[in-house]
Amino acid sequence: MLANLFDLRIGTKLMLAFAALILGFAVLLLTTLEQFVALQKSEEEQFARRYERVSDVKDLLVNINLQRVEILSAVGGDSQGLLESVRAGSEQNDRLLRRLQEEVQGDQLTSELLERMQEVRAAYLRSRDTELVPMIQAGRIDEARALIAGAQKQRAERLHELAGQLVARTNQRIAESMAQSEQTIEALRSRIFQAGIALVLGGALLAWLLSRHIAQPLARLTGLAERIGRGEIPRELPDETRQDEVGRLGQAFASMGQYLRELVQELNESISVLASASEEILAVTTQVAASTQETATAISEIATTVEEVKQTAVLAGSKSQSVSESAERTRQVAQSGRQSVEENLRGMGLIREQMQVVAESIMRLGEQSQTIGEIVASVNDLAEQSNLLGVNASIEAVKAGEAGKGFSVVAQEVKILADQSKQATAQVRGILGEIQKAMTKAVIQAEEGSKTVEGGYQRAQVSGDAIRTLSSSVEESSEIALQIAATSQQQMIGMDQIGSAMENIRQASQDNVAGARQVDTAARNLHQLGLKLKGLAARFKL
């Protein structure tokens, strides 16, 4: 059984040893943790219950004080609302006392304190409800104040005293519980210490056994490895029969020693060949490095020339871009001018049409003024005839004597009206003459204005055609400028690509130079390595 255990792998042995230790520590840790959790839970529950008990007692005292304040306030003012608040506070105190009685079951001293508090509070409530409240409601304020300052005050002080004893009892129970917890923790600490000592002793025993079974054989193999490291390859190597890693390591050392003897012999032969080949490689790489350096210099000069051409292309692109932008602005101005001329043509056409309408209107107005003149002439004739009739009527009235006086007055009025009509028609005829003269001038001016408008319209059409032709030419020039700018941009992009390519070629040539130098350095290192290998191979003692 023990031999089979020794033949196990070292990892398995270590795993079993550490598993035993870990298992022991795990059992100890879980047991300790379980006990600590149970203890913590118990402490938390007890502390929560006792804290709630103290809190309930504090709330009870606060309510009692608040009720006393409300009673005193009810004595001096509105009593109905305050008395309702006092009754509500009493109900809350009843609930607090019932909860306290449920929490202290099993604690005789605390139960007795609560019973005494119940008795004092019952007497306090009976006196308040049967004596104090009827006094307040009946308006006997002095008697109510005397009762409050006397028996009720003593009962309230007694309640405060009992509450203080209840809080002190609760704090005492908390202290007793903490002391008991400390005893439990001390006992648990002692058991943990004893189990830890046992685990440490077990670990030390396992470490000694593993050291005796693993470290001593490894020390022998380490000495053998140090001899091989110094160049001594022993002819006699250890023959291990163990089946674990140490045994297989001893067997591997025996195989390695035999292999090293053969390897060193072959290595001596190969090093001689390597030394001669490295000399030839060194000569070739020196020539390649010189040629590569010349190529890199030529490529750098070409890259400089390409960069100069690129700068020229960039300048040409900038100028073409400026020409393109100027052509675009000119095209926009020509487009705006063409639009303005077209709008002017439309405006001139409207003016020509309106002038024609004005001329026609003036002609019609002249014809109508002639008609009015004829009508005025007819009115003048009628006025002449009326005047003659008035004269005739006056003559006939004179002939009639007294009988014709009335008719004479009428004839005189007709004559006056006829004279007025003649004067009015004369004025109208004069006004019509002025109007006809003005209309004649207006007709002449309208015709001249129409001719002027027509001439302006014809000239505007000629200008519009010229501007359209100019706009077309500008647009063609703008398109050509844009094409030139695009071509220049493409040329500049091409030069950028050529520059990037030459830069890549230059970088590649620099890399080739660096690579050639590295190859030259590697060849020199290889030559030095061959020499060193000769020296190292000479150090091995077969």
Cα distances from 127 to residues 63, 121, 133, 134, 152, in angstroms, run 17, 10, 9, 10, 8
Cα distances from 282 to residues 26, 270, 295, 529, 536, in angstroms, run 67, 18, 20, 13, 22
Which neighbouring-strand residues pair with 232?
541
Crossing angle of helices 153-210 and 108-127, rounded to 10°: 150
What's this model's pTM, rounded to 2 decimal places?
Answer: 0.30
The first and second tokens of residue 414, run together, are 């007709």
pLDDT of residue 1: 47
Is there a contact between 126 and 72 (Cβ–Cβ < 8 Å)?
no
Q: What are phi and psi of 9, to 5 degrees?
A: -65, 150
* 3-state helix/strand/coil string of 100-136: HHHHCCCCHHHHHHHHHHHHHHHHHHHHHHHHHHHHH
pLDDT of residue 139: 74
Q: Is 7 helix (H, G, I), strand (E, B) or coil?
A: coil
Contacts of residue 117, Cβ cutoff 8 Å, sequence gap at least 6: 97, 159, 162, 163, 166
pLDDT of residue 256: 73
DSSP H or E stretch at residue 152: none
Contacts of residue 474, Cβ cutoff 8 Å, sequence gap at least 6: 327, 330, 331, 334
pLDDT of residue 360: 72
Handedness of CA 343, 346, 349, 353 (dihedral sign): negative
Half-sphere exposure of 165 (CA within 13 A, CB side): 14
Q: State which amino acid sits at residue 47.
A: F
- For 510-542, what is each residue's pLDDT tens digit? 776 677 677 678 767 766 776 776 666 666 566
- For 249-281, what is each residue's pLDDT tens digit? 766 767 776 777 777 677 777 777 766 766 776
Distance, in Å, from the CA atom of 39 to the CA atom of 312, rounded to the nearest integer, reads 90
pLDDT of residue 185: 72
Cα distances from 517 to residues 282, 408, 528, in angstroms, run 11, 152, 16
Is there a contact between 79 and 99 (Cβ–Cβ < 8 Å)?
no
Distance, in Å, from the CA atom of 83 to the CA atom of 81, rounded to the nearest integer, reads 6
Q: Is 541 helix (H, G, I), strand (E, B) or coil?
A: strand
pLDDT of residue 435: 67
pLDDT of residue 345: 66
Torsion-angle region of 107 (φ positive above 0: left; ψ -120 to 50: alpha; else: beta): beta
DSSP H or E stretch at residue 130: none
Q: Is 540 helix (H, G, I), strand (E, B) or coil?
A: coil
| CB-based burial, 281-301: b 16+ in 10 Å, e otherwise | bbeebeebbeebeeebeebee
Q: Where are the beta strands (DSSP E) in 132-216?
A: none
Compute the C-alpha angle 240/244/249, nearest 5°.
Answer: 55
- Burial label, 456 (beta-carbon count in 10 A; 0-12, 13-18, 19+): middle
DSSP letters spanning 179-203:
HHHHHHHHHHHHHHHHHHHHHHHHH
- Burial label, 68 (beta-carbon count in 10 A; 0-12, 13-18, 19+): middle
Tell the residue number behind the tokens 């704090």, with chain if given: 171
Contacts of residue 215, Cβ cutoff 8 Å, sequence gap at least 6: none
Tell the residue number behind the tokens 């010229």, with chain if given: 466
Tell the residue number behind the tokens 């030419």, with chain if given: 473
Distance, in Å, from the CA atom of 119 to the CA atom of 125, rounded to the nearest integer, reads 10
Question: pLDDT tens string for the chain (542 positions)?
Answer: 445 555 566 666 667 766 777 777 777 777 777 766 666 666 666 555 555 656 666 666 666 766 666 666 666 555 555 556 666 666 666 676 666 666 666 667 777 777 787 787 778 778 877 887 777 777 777 787 788 778 878 877 887 787 778 777 777 776 776 777 677 777 777 777 777 787 778 777 777 776 666 667 777 777 777 777 766 666 666 666 666 666 677 667 677 767 777 776 777 777 777 667 667 766 766 766 666 676 667 667 666 766 765 676 566 567 666 756 665 676 676 677 667 667 766 766 776 677 677 667 667 766 766 776 677 677 667 667 766 766 676 676 666 666 656 656 666 766 676 677 667 667 766 776 776 676 677 667 667 766 776 776 676 667 667 666 766 766 676 676 667 667 667 766 766 776 676 677 677 767 766 776 776 787 677 667 767 766 666 665 66
The first and second tokens of residue 264, run together, are 């060193």
Query: In order of start, what are the domains of the chain with their CATH numbers?
Result: 2-220 (no CATH), 261-539 (1.10.287.950)
Contacts of residue 110, Cβ cutoff 8 Å, sequence gap at least 6: 104, 166, 169, 170, 173
Q: What is the largest CA-CA distance in the chain?
A: 198
Distance, in Å, from the CA atom of 71 to the CA atom of 131, rounded to the nearest integer, reads 13
Is there a contact between 323 and 489 (Cβ–Cβ < 8 Å)?
no
